[in-house]
Amino acid sequence: MRMKALGSGFFAGYLVMAGGLSAHAAQEAKALLGLVSLRLLPDSATLWGARASQQFVLLGKYADGLERDLTSSASFSVSDPKRGTIRNPGQFVSETSGLAVLTAKVGNRVAKAALRVEDADKLRQTTFVPDVQRILTKRSCNDATCHGGVKGRGGFKLSLHGIYPKDDYKAIVAGGTFRVLTVEDHPKSPRVDPQHPEKSLLMKKPALEVAHEGGMRLEPGSPDYQALVQWIRSGTPFGDEAEMRVPAVERVEVLPREIVLQGGAQQQLVVTAHLSNGRQEDITEQVQYVTNNASVADVSETGVVQAKKKGETNILIRTPGYTLSADVGVVDKPIDEYPAIAARNYIDRHVFAKLRTFQILPSELSGDQEFLRRVCLDLTGTLPPPERVREFVADKNSQKRDRLIETLLDSAEYVDYWSFRFGDLLRATYVTSNNTKSTRAYQNWITNSIATNKPYDQIARERIGAQGYSAPARNFYYISELTTPDVLMPELIRLFMGRRIECSQCHNHPFEAWSQNQYWGLAAFFAGYTEVRDSTLIIDVLGGGHVDQPKDVMVVNPRSKQKVVPAFLDGTQLPPSEWMDPRRHLANWVTSHPYFAEATVNRLLSFFFGRGIVEPVDDFRSTNPPTHPELLRALAKDFRDSGFNLKHLMRTMVQSRTYQLSATPNENNKDDRMGYSHGRARPLEAAVLLDAITSVTGVPEKFEIHPIAGGGDAPVGTRAMHTITDICPSQFMDDFGRSTRRALPSGSPQPSLAEALHMMSGPVFNAKITREGGRLSALLKKNVSDEEILNEFFVAALTRLPTSEEKTELLQLLGQRSQRREETLAGLVWAIVNSREFAYNH
Amino acid sequence: MKTICGHCRGIPQTRRDFLRVGALSFLGINLSDFLRHRSAGTLALAGPAAVRSEAKAQSVILIWLEGGISHLDSWDVKANSGFRPVATNANGVQVSEVFPGIAKHMDSLSIIRSMKSDERNHPQGTIQTLTGHRPNPALKFPSFGSIVSKERGARNNMPPFVVVPTPTEGDFFNYQEAYQASFIGSEYDAMVLPDPSQPNFQLPNLNLPKTLSVDAIHDRRTMLGIVDRHFRQKENLAEFVKMDAFQEQALKMLLDPKVKEAFDLSRESDKTKDRYGRHRVGQSVLLARRLVEAGCRFVTAAGYKHGQWDTHDDNDKRLRDTLAPLLDRSLSALMEDLKQRGLLESTVVLVTGEFGRTPVINPKGGRDHWPDCWSLLVGGGGIRGGCIVGASDKDGATVAERPVSIGDLYATVYKALGIEWTKSYMSPIARPVYIANGFDDTLGTPLKELI
């Protein structure tokens, strides 16, 4: 039973006028107000077999820019009534073969769709694939928390969402009787009993005729129940692929894929399976719908989306082998006369188009000071010094932002900063069983790669495929504590392909169609690295003889105990002739895979915009869809076309108007977290923060070298971002959550009590502020006024002057403390460098 | 070519050991609540989960036997031991002769002789024993101490979960997740303290600069409020609110003389320090007592050095000469103090390492790793003493009776603390995680013999 569309606020004014009309006419008249055009989805359909049905959705485009679901207010007709009839609003049911046109009419506006009915005399048999599998999926029987879990439930194991139909078929149909585990003295029943279908355990359990931990899943008498009974009675056919009676599903599509609704409005979804024989099948009622955020929009069992409150979410749609999603945006009242916003490049075009669709207004362009601080921190990890701030603000050149971007991209600080960031990602660290020479050689390789703007695919290839004495990136393997293939491999997939494949180490991936064999096949590319001799793990990355020999290029799948040879994710095995240097092939495969560019642009985007199109940035999966799929593809294409040019990618990002939007939200966009409608505050990394405090106080930080690396003081001029975690101890950076580089960084550091204690009583926030020779002591010596000191520190730390309110209040307090002026001024600097405004980039 | 022993590596210290200060449960406080509380001069902690009223225990002291104690030479003495079993003050309960002091407290402590786990190597075994889960590449699990902290909440401005000193020093990274809160929130991570037996022992950053007056602190905070107001009007992230709460907490810790006192071992008499033993082990146990007294929820006394109980060679000699005396002295001093101060009723005492050791003596006179069957001590906080749970076979090689999982042990301690032991947490990868994770990832149950 489909829900009817509810009247929304948009129509409220008209309702009074329509008071005297018949209900349908009133609904129609209401729908016509402001209607610009109509479209029917899908625009054509082929129906196969007796009494096949197809759901259509009628969308009306309105003057306010929104599309509304008019399916239930329209009248539908079929050009040739012999072809079939209209059952529920928008649902066509076939009767005889042939062609026809479906017309939907609202007032005097119409939309049409082509219908083709084939083999209308042929009864379609219910088979295991796809019918039974669809029922099991729709009813969550094979969900990860039930029988689709790694171990199944109650002794009954199905593949997750039906991805392995043959195994599932065997589990259900193979002989044997089973006790109802929850009732001790219950007689054993077969899972399927063709003589008495209703007595099958497959029927009794979900219908709750016997105890079932999963509760009622299948109401007796429901169409799905009848279908299962009929399937068992007809001898549990699997489905004969050879006769093409059950063609494979090649693609599943949901319409509309992007929906914008006002609170309270509804939208019917239509889900279509595209089959290998070119036909399509309406499976709207055979799939499972799950909302990612029920407080924004809910969805019914039959695919009707109900908008709740302003926000954005996805509706996930599950059917065996496929998970897809529809994006739902719920908006307030549409904006009158949404303004035209000039785009600087394709990023803006994609972002602004979506904002417009979702009726969100972007913030204003950032002011010069806001932009300057943001871009300096993002490209170089440093604050602009006060004189540069004044210079930039005074510059009247209209191209000054682009010129600044070029200056920063060419600066030595850019190399420092991105060497540090990629040092975190590529994990340049010292570990216990290594010498510091390797660590430094590896970090130098990273630094040189950044300094020469080496194409990123080359960086990845050098790192993945490193072999022999001369390759500097081999030091990663040397210093890595991830010594076994089964841990080296998933890190690589996560870093360079943005996927988390770890779950499939021990079992098939619960949310993705990744099997354990694929996991171990990829891991086998690293098999040559390690060898266990006399219970001692030996690592050899220097090509010293015993590794990288064909005998080593295998790993053992711990579950099947079978040896696995190197194989790519699609199952293609590396031929034995190439086993001498398997990682070169792996490197080529990784960098030419579409995932590589997508994962890289997404990660970079999250650096500059505070959020990736997929978030977390290394968790691409079908159940975690991208917010801007077209933008992701466009960025990936641009990155590939540029020859994986990192600077080009960064330039494109920071030149966009989207990047340069103010961080001050407007009333309309203040709750937006996914649309890039305004600049977003991001915490400074521990090293950047320490360097920033150094630059504000004017007192260099002294770093020591750990005794393991030779001890002594670090060279003069060493900044925090030059340090390698374990070689330069730093209580400050540890407390502020620097990356240990022992694992890939995951998310930004969270506030902690250590950090708070450090702020109150740590030396960086106390002694450093007042030290002789620093900015404060120099200003005090110059005998300048409180106001000048205040201005100087605001500009140095926050790239802005104090507001008049701040100035009044702070100067007043300083005035009252004239007898302990120095102490209070030191307190002022403490307050500035402890503010969230200082500790974040925004 | 480089060679690493797969386990028991002798590893140099890699970095000055860091203090990861875990913190209190401030999640869930919104800004207006916070500001209101701040103006009222108090900050309410986010309330812990409901606690069963009949629970007696308030906190846990875990004495961590780093490297894995030989069950055969301690709590489950067999014919293949080099030591004799001796009677204790509990009827029918025997322990090894190397623990004469502990033998006088066995009426308050019980032995579980049928512990069974899976992991045979130190990092993995430590993670399994201290989280209840085998290490998993896809998910890190919250530490036992983090769960107790989350469920019972912080008290008296004290950090809820403390580990003293840095365990597995020099190789802490490989063990760190055993002490972390993982997905339940960094505020429940263990606060790791330096070695309390060092003369200059103090908690870093727990002392305000001497020149800083209370008035100056007040001014600083006033100015911080003025400077940050402009930005906060534009953007108010959940992290800011969390940071405010941490700052408030930090200030309370810094200004609360009781907190500083709790960490100040100089307040203990020389006689007391001697009773526990003037060593990392003894002083860590002593500090654990002070911290629990002051309000910590879970303190791990990890005074043994990296691999100190890992007796692959000279098992008997090392046990007799060093390991056992340190434990005998510190644990009996702790039991005496807890009893005398009336704290035993409210403090669970747990004594274990990551696994047991092989029944067979190896050619070097040592015993190797053995998770198949091992023993531990538990008592206090309403957990019955003087009992023996389960039994091993005649060699102590396999569990003969009543296999006990880590999850069963946790469930027993949770029950003592009034924590709903059947709970599970939903992990970020949508896998539910039992707080008492028993055999084969099933739910553990409290040991009815003990509680």
Residue A562 CB neighbours (<10 A): 12
d(CA A733, CA A721): 10
Other C-beta atoms closer than 10 Å to the C-beta of A497 total 23
Asked whether the beta carbons of A208 and A216 are under 8 A apart, the reply is yes
Q: Which CATH number does the domain housing residue A322 bear?
A: 2.60.40.1080
Is residue A212 domain-shared with residue A290, that is, in the same domain?
Answer: no
Counted across chains A and B, CB pairs separated by less than 8 A come out at 208
User: Which residue among B138, B237, B247 sits closest to A759, beta carbon to beta carbon?
Assistant: B247
Please tell me the distance in Å from B202's CA to the nearest CA on chain A. 14
Query: pLDDT tens digit string along B10-45?
Result: 333 322 222 222 222 222 222 233 333 333 333 333
Indicate which of B205, B306, B424 best probes the interface with A, i.e. most A CBs within 10 Å of its own CB: B205
Segment among A652-666, A805-819, B18-32 with least mean pLDDT? B18-32
Measured in angstroms, the CA of B248 and the nearest CA of chain A are apart by 8
Q: What is the pLDDT of residues B316-368, one digit of tens each?
A: 999 999 999 999 999 999 999 999 999 999 999 999 999 999 999 999 999 99
Which segment, A503-507, A617-621, B300-304, is predicted with the most confidence on average? B300-304
Rounded to the nearest 10 degrees, what angle do helices A594-609 and A646-655 cross at?
A: 40
| Residue A777: domain span | 768-841
Cβ distance B333 to B317 under 8 Å? no
pLDDT given for residue A25 in this prediction: 75
Q: Is A182 on the interface with B (CB under 8 A)?
A: no
DSSP labels, A484-518: SHHHHHHHHHHHHH----GGGGTSS-SSSS--HHH
pLDDT above 50 for B207: yes
Residues within 8 A of B (CB atoms), A 548-607 only: none
What letter represents residue B346's amino acid?
S
**Do A578 and A606 reside in the same domain of the chain?**
no
- Answer yes or no: do A278 and A347 share one domain: no
Residue A179 has pLDDT above 80, yes or no: no
Q: Which residues contact B85 (CB under 8 A, 6 or more apart)?
A: B77, B94, B95, B96, B97
Residue A17: predicted pLDDT: 41
pLDDT tens-digit profile of B111-157?
999 999 999 889 899 999 999 999 887 788 999 999 999 999 999 98
Same domain, A20 and A43: yes
Provide, as residue numbers in chain A, all residues whose Cβ is less than 8 Å from the Cβ of B124: none
**B230: which chain A residues are within 8 Å (Cβ-Cβ)?**
803, 806, 837
From CA A707, how far away is CA A724, in angstroms rounded?
14
Residue A511 domain flag: yes
Q: Are B445 and B435 in contact (CB under 8 A)?
A: no
A160/A203 same-domain check: yes
- Please report residues of A whose CB lies closer than 8 A to that of B221: 831
The answer to whether the CB atoms of A708 and B12 lie below 8 A apart is yes
pLDDT exceeds 60 at position A551: no
Residues in B closer than 8 angstroms to A827, CB to CB, are 216, 219-220, 223
Please check the confidence at residue B9 and state whether its pLDDT lies above 70: no
| pLDDT over threshold 60, residue A15 | no
Nearest to A467 by CA among A552, A573, A587: A587
Whether A352 and A327 share a structural domain: no
* Last residue of one domain, picked from the residues A639, A665, A683: A683
Name which of B170, B209, B249 is nearest A753 (Cβ-Cβ): B249
Residues A326 and A345 in one domain: no
Query: Of all residues in chain A, what percent are helix, strand and coil, respectively (each to 5)?
Result: 40, 15, 45
Does A539 share its domain with A641? no
CA distances from B144 to A538, B7, B67, B184 (A): 34, 24, 18, 12
Q: What backbone phi and psi angles, to 5 degrees, belong to B16?
A: -60, 130
> Percentage of chain A with pLDDT > 90?
50
Instruction: Determine which of A488, A760, A805, A837 to mutate to test the interface with B (most B C-beta atoms within 10 Å).
Output: A760
Inter-residue contact A426 to A476 (CB < 8 Å): yes
State whether A277 and A301 are in the same domain.
yes
Assess if residue A243 is contained within a domain: no
Q: How far apart are CA B356 and CA B304, in angstroms?
A: 16
Asked whether residue A445 is domain-assigned, the answer is no
Report the pLDDT value the prediction gives residue B285, as an integer from 0 to 100. Answer: 98
Q: Would you tell me which residues 489-528 of chain A have a C-beta closer than 8 angstroms to some C-beta of chain B?
A: 490, 500, 502-503, 505-506, 510-511
Dist CA A762 CA A699 (whole Å): 15
Backbone phi and psi for residue A695, each to the nearest 5 degrees, phi listed first? -70, -35
Number of neighbouring beta carbons within 10 Å of residue A368: 17
The pLDDT of residue A319:
87
Give CA separation, B128 vs A647, B150, B165, B436, B439, in Å.
45, 19, 20, 12, 11
Q: Give burial (CB, 10 Å; 0-12/13-18/19+) of A232.
A: buried
Q: Is A829 within 8 Å of A793 (Cβ atoms)?
A: yes
Q: Which of B6, B227, B239 is nearest residue A751 as measured by Cβ atoms?
A: B239
Residue of B nearest to A756 (CA): B247
Q: Is A143 on the interface with B (CB under 8 A)?
A: no
A205 and A149 in one domain? yes
In a domain? residue A422: no
A689 in Cβ contact with A369 (< 8 Å): no
User: Could you say which of A483, A752, A828 has the minimum Cβ distance to residue B23?
Assistant: A752
Q: What pLDDT score was predicted for residue B226?
A: 96
pLDDT at B271: 97
Q: How far apart are CA B386 and CA A82, in angstroms?
A: 88
DSSP conformational letter for A335: P
Beta-carbon separation of A834 and B235 below 8 A: no
DSSP string for B295-314: T-SEEEE--S-TTTT--SB-
Burial class for A379, CB neighbours closer than 10 Å (0-12, 13-18, 19+): buried
User: CA–CA separation, A554 vs A531, rounded Å?
Assistant: 11
pLDDT, tens digit, for every residue of B166-192? 898 877 777 888 999 988 887 888 988
* B206/A755 Cβ within 8 A: no
Q: Is residue A412 assigned to a domain?
A: no
- What separation in angstroms does the CA of B14 have from each of A431, A725, B163? 7, 10, 19
- What interface predicted TM-score (ipTM) does this complex get? 0.81
Residue A152 backbone class (left: φ over 0; alpha: ψ -120 to 50; beta: rest): left
**pLDDT on residue A527:** 72
Token output for A767: 């002694």
State the smallest CA–CA distance between residue A758 and chain B in angstroms.
6
Same domain, A347 and A319: no
- Per-residue pLDDT, averaged over A472-479, amounts to 71
A632: in domain? yes
C-alpha span between A534 and A31 (Å, rounded): 80
Is there a domain that residue A241 lies in? no
Residues A224 and A262 in one domain: no
Q: B138: which chain A residues are within 8 Å (Cβ-Cβ)?
A: 500, 502-503, 505
pLDDT digits (tens, 9 = 90+) for A739-782: 888 778 877 777 888 889 888 888 888 889 999 999 999 999 99
The structural domain count of chain A equals: 6
Smallest Cα distance from B375 to chain A, Å = 27
Domain limit, last residue, from A628, A656, A683: A683
Here the CATH number for the domain that contains residue A36 is 2.60.40.10
Test A835 with B16 for CB contact under 8 angstroms: no
Lowest mean pLDDT among A498-507, B42-51, B290-299: B42-51
Between CA B281 and CA B302 the distance in angstroms is 7
Confidence of residue A246 (pLDDT cuts 50, 70, 90): low
Domains of chain B: 31-43+58-198+216-441 (3.40.720.10)
Say if A345 falls within a structural domain.
yes
Q: Is 0.90 surpassed by the pTM of this model?
A: no
* DSSP per-residue codes, A266-328: EEE-EEEEEETTS-EEE-GGGSEEEES-TTTEEE-TTSEEEE-SSEEEEEEEEETTEEEEEEE
Measured between beta carbons, the chain A residues lying within 8 angstroms of B224 are: 830-831, 834-835
Domain's final residue, options A655, A683, A711: A683
Mean pLDDT value across chain A: 86
